[in-house]
Amino acid sequence: MTRPVLLDVGGVLETGRGAIEEAELLAGRAAIIDHGQIQVLDTPRRLIARLDGAGRIQFTARGAIEEDELRRLPAVLDVAARDDGGARETIGSYQLRVADPRAAVSALLEWARRRDADLRGLEVLPGTLEDIFLQLTGQQLRD
């Protein structure tokens, strides 16, 4: 079983997605342990720097977008989507995990232009400790 263990100076924080977010803000050091072995131990900032610019792109759009179309865009590693759950017009929220935000944003905007897609609230976010966890273990965090 893979579980992150997040360390602060002198103590262990709880595990899971909430602890990852807390560690990014508060921890002096963070460790990711996979099958009982420490994979990495460093400051959150240094761990995130290992991602070489990888990050996330978030946006909303009117109407449904096929996730597979987004996955085929250059530099896109993964896509997470959810809809608004019942408004008159479907508005979907999308998060793309990307290897190269600049290339992915360019491709996304060109894709949206060709399809006349209305993208709203486009944000480019830096990588996180959760991204490091996924990169090292190949597994998503569970709450």
**Domain map (residue ranges) of the chain:** 2-50, 55-126
Quote the mean pLDDT of the chain: 81
Cα four-point dihedral sign 123, 124, 129, 131? positive
Tens-place pLDDT, residues 48-101: 888 878 899 999 998 888 999 999 999 999 999 986 655 555 678 999 999 999
Fold classification of 55-126 (topology level): Alpha-Beta Plaits (3.30.70)
| Cα 29 from Cα 35, distance rounded (Å) | 20
Distance CA 14, CA 44 (A): 16
Q: For the whole model, what pTM was predicted?
A: 0.70
- The average pLDDT across 17-46 equals 79
Contact present, 83 and 90 (Cβ < 8 Å): yes
Q: 118 is written with which tokens? A: 């209305």
What is the rounded distance in angstroms from the CA atom of residue 117 to the CA atom of residue 97?
20
